[in-house]
Amino acid sequence: MSIASFSAISSHELFIRRKRQFVTRAIQKPSTSTTSTEQLPIQPESDDHHSWRAISGGLNLPSTISNLLHLSAAPKALPVSFDHDQTPIFSPKEDICSLRSAIHGPVDWSPLLDPLHPSLRREILKYGEFAQATYDAFDNNPVSEYHGCSLYGRSRLVPLLGLSRHGYSVTKYLYATSHIDLPQWLLRPLLRSESRWCDESNWMGFVAVSGEAETRRIGLRDITVAWRGTVSPSEWLEDVQSRLEPLPCADDDGALVEKGFLSLYTSRSQSSRFTHSSASEQVMRELLRLVEFYKNKGEEVSVTITGHSLGGALALLNAAEAVSLLPADVRITVISFGAPRVGNQVFGDMLKRRGVKVLRVVTKQDVVPKVPGVVFNEGRKGKGWEWVYTHVGDELTLDVGASPYLKRGVVDIAGFHALETYLHLVDGFERAECRFRAGARRDVALVNKATGLLREELRIPACWYQPENKGMVRNEFGRWVLPRRDPEDIPSPCAEEKLIPSSSSSYS
């Protein structure tokens, strides 16, 4: 089973919004009990036990799937208070500069993971929200003339998505292309006869820098790179390629990474206005410029790279290149969510040897971190195992069953993989095998932005996050049309370059 099957399903834009009928499939053997305190949202169409046995081929299929995905149908009581809409959703931001060596520096952070240190939890959520922004700002409307780019200009993304409290400013947008030749009907929907965007390119994320207040709070200047997960058809097809090939920037010839991920990171297209240079060249040019600027000011600098799903894979490739090109005293950190395996054991050993700190946030029920390499995975070393995938870094393992807010006993592949589900579980995590923490503040409703995982008692609609009237507005003649974009939100390579401050500017 390929990474594409799940990475594409996981996209809350491509599959959840356009094909919602595939989002939730509950697989549960009909209950014979009349005292159950929780009704499953979807029951098998037939209550006939013989037909159920025939469908499952004589096997207990529901139990098999439940065991595989660590599901439990046992009901959990919702928190006593239902006034979740009457409490603040953010914890106060404390000064963590004394922890900079542990969180953003060279000190191993594994002692902070179990129990999860509150300050580290807040930092994980901060970077997770940057990764979520790459989905929320992506224009995936197939009839939009800017389909495939960001909905907002660089200066507007942070405030419009409610991220100003984090204290970062976006300095660069990142774009990627694919080497795969796609049929025209797949690239451009029939309803869109003219595009002001480039069908060969896709907006993949951004580079942001901490402002003065945030820099003082965390104790150093932090440069963040956020990579988006799979949304577009070309990215989906790239994911299909589950072959390993040598990593160009590796200092070891034995370091191998997945071909499709590497292609998206390193491909360029002369026919595209936005990918004359590859995503790799774009991000490294910006990182080198920013690091030089702040180090010349005498500041301590860290680079934190984040992403979800495919974005987590790109984050590892970005980190491998950054550690080979940036000064040795710049700390490189990766915080990924639901990321697949990227390379072999030699690749992982190379990152560890060169001091890259990697934290993989995974959910037991999510299948994406289990691929590529479902059959052969961790622990295979020595001659003959060079082509086996393995994970990198520390793992923070979450469990859907720990949250009393989520439905029980359902199989929702997309919901388990959704980034908002991850952030909800991080907010409630204290230590392994412990209940959801009482002090969790993140808005529970966000889980249902693109899924239907929340229990019906909460009365939060499934897949509620969408533009009003699907973005249509009335023009001066009273006709319904797609609105014209604000000039600041129109993608333009020339405008982008002009908006980026030179090294003589300062960021705040």
Catalytic residues: 309, 366, 417
Instruction: Decide: 372 and 359 in contact? Cβ < 8 Å.
Output: no
Rounded distance between C-alpha atoms, residue 188 and residue 198, angstroms: 10
246: helix, coil or strand?
Answer: strand
Rounded distance between C-alpha atoms, residue 42 and residue 313, angstroms: 34
Cβ atoms within 10 Å, residue 44: 16
Torsions phi, psi for 497 (to 5 deg): -65, -35
Rounded distance between C-alpha atoms, residue 314 and residue 312, angstroms: 5
User: Tokens 């500041």 belong to which residue?
Assistant: 299
Strand 201-210 relative to strand 221-227, pairing:
antiparallel
| Tokens matching residue 141 | 């409307």
H-helix segments, 173-278? 184-187, 212-218, 233-240, 259-266
Rg for the chain, CA atoms, rounded = 23
Cβ atoms within 10 Å, residue 485: 18
Cβ atoms within 10 Å, residue 399: 17
Instruction: Decide: 26 and 43 in contact? Cβ < 8 Å.
Output: yes
